[in-house]
Each structure stands twice: as structure tokens, then as C-alpha cells.
Amino acid sequence: MPLSRRQTLRTLGLGAATLAAPAVMRHAALGADPITVVGIHDASGGLDIYGLPMIACLSFAVDEVNAAGGLLGREIKLINYDPQSNIQLYTQFATQAATSDHAAVVHGGITSASREAIRPILRRYRTLYFYNTQYEGGVCDRNCFCTGSTPAQNVQKLVPYVMKKWGKKIYILAADYNYGQITSKWVTKYCRENGGEVVAADFFPLNVTDFGATIQKIQQAKPDMVMSVLVGGAHVSFYRQWAAAGMKKKIPMASTTLGGGNETLLLTPEEADGIVVAYSYFQEVDNPANKEFLQKFHAKLGDKAPYLGGELAMRTYVGFHLWAEGVRRAKSTDRMKVIEALESGIAFDGPPGRTVIDGKTNHVSLDVYLAEVVNRGFKVLEHFPNQPPADTASVCDLKAHPNTDRQFVIDVKI
């Protein structure tokens, strides 16, 4: 029934937008002075645990650049849209960003489903797109820069580490959409390469909250560890129910997603401590750039500063600065000039370490960290500098085939 309400609203909204379009366009043409940047992140709905910190970091990065005089002498105007964890709204806002806001760049998308919804739209309207989330890899599109880490960077480090620590039998729990499906294949691949075995993989729609039967199935399968590729607010129940069944002390857990948002704050130390994860950033990373960033971030936002946890929010900050550097080097906001500048191998030294754009794939090489949850935060265990996006590079070559426009499902040999 909510569907029909949405459809009605959408129809009405589209009608209104069509009527208002001439007025909006005239207005936009007059105020051409600031550079418009659009952010599309879920500030409500099940994905807000990821979206809210990302919005805070994007706004902070924009303010930083504006405080330093803007870009090319022009101020940056940031428009944040909230798609409310609803894919239909993503497409609507992407269209709006391209056609009526004339955005120089769109930063946004959290789930891979949302990215694949807006990526073709932004390409069609020739609007540059930055996707700043860790994801399953394989996107090959000159118009789209993916600045988060991918399985060849994070899972490749995570799986051997936890297998060495805990054993060879892995039970995978994953969210039932492209990210979960593909990431679980990568986990399987790295597990087998290290002489291990995946005893089972279960997939859950994003709204599932009851994991009771699954917890029994896991006990029956007796794995050496559980690998969680669960996503979003509803799936947080799994960690609660796992701990409530007393399983946390019996079977250890690693995750490719926990801590991407604020899950560690929602869970008690009894429920989450000891879970091992890999990301390209943790708030607890110890280096001077990060210390300086956090000090400024907290000075500016005060009590409202979100906990940054894993990488999603920080990659959004880095992604914006990479784009800004591209504009500086191109001396223009023209899309093709900025793309060419970015592909020349722009780097940004920030809190997570050095991020370099790989012009062949429009992905980045970055530092990867392993950490475990300790008392609602993370303890960084290991640091691997300069990891290339080897997974996407194995299928994507934009230098040779600049017109590629697709997400390769990397043939994970398992």
C-alpha cells in the first residue's frame, strides 16, 4: 500500500516539476557564479547509519575548501538530497542534480543498488559522478570515480588474517543484493586460496530482523568463524541475537561491513567486541594527518560530530578533495577536462594515508587497515600501505576502451 502512495506523490511531484521547470532553469542560469556540488546520501531510513556521517564529512570538506578561498576563485555551493533509503528517490534526485541544479559533480550513493540506479543517469546527462563507498568492485565507466576500497583491497587482507587466527571453516551471512552476493564470492575465493572451506552462505533481504533459525543452522555447521556481509539497520539485530544466544564466546566473527556506519555505537561491547574488520580508514588510525583532521572536525561540529568508524564517511571526505584537486589541475569545472586531470593520477594525502587515482580503472589505490572492535570503537591491528584496485584492474581498462560503461561481475574463480 505504501507503494501506491509513493506513486501518487511521485506523479504529482513530476507534474509540479514539469510545470515549474522553466522558472527553475531561468533562475539557475542567472546565478551561475558558485560551483554547484550535489550530495545524495540517505539521511533517513535503514541506511542512515551510513548516510549521516557521510553527509557530515562531505559538508566539512566543502567548508574546508570554501574557507581556503573556494575553487578557481568561485565558492562551492553544496546541495544535499536525502533519498530516504529509497531507490526511486535516488533516480529522481540524480536527474534533478544534472538537469536543474547543473551540478559540476555528484557525490553519493551508498548501496551498490543505488549506485547502479544513478550512474547511468549521470552518464547520460554528462554529469561527473563520485561513488565514495567500499563496494564489490568492477565498475568501469569514465564518468564514475570509485574512491572506496574493493574486495582485492579489504577482503584479501581480512580473510587470510582471520583464517590464520581462527581456522579454516567459514560460514558466510550476507545481504541479499549485488554487494552481498559478489562479496561473498570474493570471501569464498580468498578462503579457498588459503586452503579453507566455506561451509555455507546464507543471504538475507535488507528488512530481515529474525535470525533465530540461522543461528541454529550455524551451530549445526560448526564453522571456525562467521563472516558477516550484512548491511543496514535491520541486520544489526543479528549481532544482538548472536550474543544473546551466547554464541559470541564460542564462534568468532569477522565482517566486511560492520563499522561502516555507526553499528559499533548501537551495540554493546558484549555484543560487538572482538569482531575483526578491514577498511581503508578507522577513526582510530594513528597518524598526524588524522589527528589534525579529527581536531578540526570536532572543533567545528562539537557534540554533533558523528563517530566516523570505518571508511564510508572518510572516503566521502577524500573523494571530494580528489575532485577539488582535479578541478584545480584542470583549471576548469568542465567535465571532460576534470576527468582527464583526475585520470592523470591525482593523489590526496589525508587522514587515511595517501590515495592515488588509477587512470586505467578510475578506482584508487589506498592504505588498508585491519582492526577489531573494542569498547564501541576500533583497535587498529595492521596497516597495509598502497593497495592497488587489482580486482577492477583485471577486467577494466578505460585507457584502451574509454567508452566502456558497465559493471563487470568479476569472474571470481572459486
Partner 1 sequence: MDLLVAVALQVMTGIATLFLISLGLAVIFGMMGVINLAHGEFLMLGGYAAILSVRHGINLWVAMFLIAPLAVGLFGLIVERLMIRRLYGQMVETMLATWGLSLALIGIVTMVFGNTVGGFSAPLGSVQVGKFQFSAYSLFLIGAAGLLAVLVWIVLRRTPYGLLARGTMQNAEMAAALGVATERVYAVTFALGAALTGLAGGLLAPLSGVVPTMGTAYIAKAFITVITGGAAMLVGTLSASVLLGAAGVLGTFLTTPVLGEAALLALAIVLVRLLPRGITGRFFQRAL
- Are 145 and 322 contacting, i.e. CB atoms less than 8 angstroms apart? yes
Count of CB atoms within 10 A of residue 309's CB?
30
Which grid cell is 108? 553519493
Residue in 64, 176, 273, 334 binding partner 1, rule: CB under 8 A: 176
Query: Is residue 204 a contact point for partner 1 (CB under 8 A)?
Result: yes
Residue in 15, 205, 345, 402 binding partner 1, rule: CB under 8 A: 205
SS3 236: helix
- The alpha carbon of residue 388 and the mean position of all alpha carbons in its chain are separated, in whole angstroms, by 17
Residue in 48, 101, 136, 141 binding partner 1, rule: CB under 8 A: 48
Residue in 22, 26, 220, 303 binding partner 1, rule: CB under 8 A: 220
Residue in 76, 110, 236, 370 binding partner 1, rule: CB under 8 A: 236
Short-list 376, 375, 374, 325, CA closest to 350: 325
- Judged by beta carbon, residue 205 or residue 385, the one nearer partner 1 is 205
Residue written as grid cell 547509519: 49
Q: Which stretch binds partner 1 (CB under 8 A): 134-142, 200-208, 306-314, 400-408?
A: 200-208
Q: Residue 344 is which amino acid?
A: S
Query: Is residue 45 a contact point for partner 1 (CB under 8 A)?
Result: yes
Min. distance of Cβ 251 from partner 1 in angstroms?
10
Residue in 7, 11, 44, 386 binding partner 1, rule: CB under 8 A: 44
Which grid cell is 188? 569464498
d(CA 147, CA 254): 23
In this structure, the strands spanning 197-204 and 169-175 are parallel
- Judged by beta carbon, residue 216 or residue 344, the one nearer partner 1 is 216
Which x/- pattern over 75-114 shows residues binding partner 1 (rule: CB under 8 A)?
Answer: ---------x------------------------------
Question: In this structure, is the dihedral angle defined by the CA atoms of residues 152, 154, 157 and 162, taken in order, positive or negative?
Answer: negative
Question: What DSSP line would sit under 400-412, residue for residue?
Answer: T-TT-EEE-----
Burial of 155 (0-12, 13-18, 19+ CB in 10 A): buried
Residue in 136, 141, 224, 271 binding partner 1, rule: CB under 8 A: 271
Residue in 11, 15, 164, 210 binding partner 1, rule: CB under 8 A: 210
Query: Is residue 49 a contact point for partner 1 (CB under 8 A)?
Result: yes
Short-list 57, 108, 70, 133, CA closest to 296: 57
Q: Which stretch binds partner 1 (CB under 8 A): 53-61, 187-195, 268-276, 297-305?
A: 268-276
- Judged by beta carbon, residue 105 or residue 312, the one nearer partner 1 is 312
Beta bridge partners of 145: 130
d(CA 57, CA 219): 40
Min. distance of Cβ 137 from partner 1 in angstroms?
25
d(CA 41, CA 246): 36
Residue in 266, 305, 374, 390 binding partner 1, rule: CB under 8 A: 266
Query: Is residue 5 a contact point for partner 1 (CB under 8 A)?
Result: yes
Query: Is residue 181 a contact point for partner 1 (CB under 8 A)?
Result: no
- The alpha carbon of residue 298 and the mean position of all alpha carbons in its chain are separated, in whole angstroms, by 22
- Judged by beta carbon, residue 46 or residue 350, the one nearer partner 1 is 46
Q: Residue 329 is which amino acid?
A: R
Q: Given the rule CB under 8 A, which residues bind partner 1?
A: 1-2, 5, 44-46, 48-49, 84, 176, 202-205, 207-210, 212-217, 219-220, 233-234, 236-237, 240-241, 243-247, 250, 266, 268, 270-271
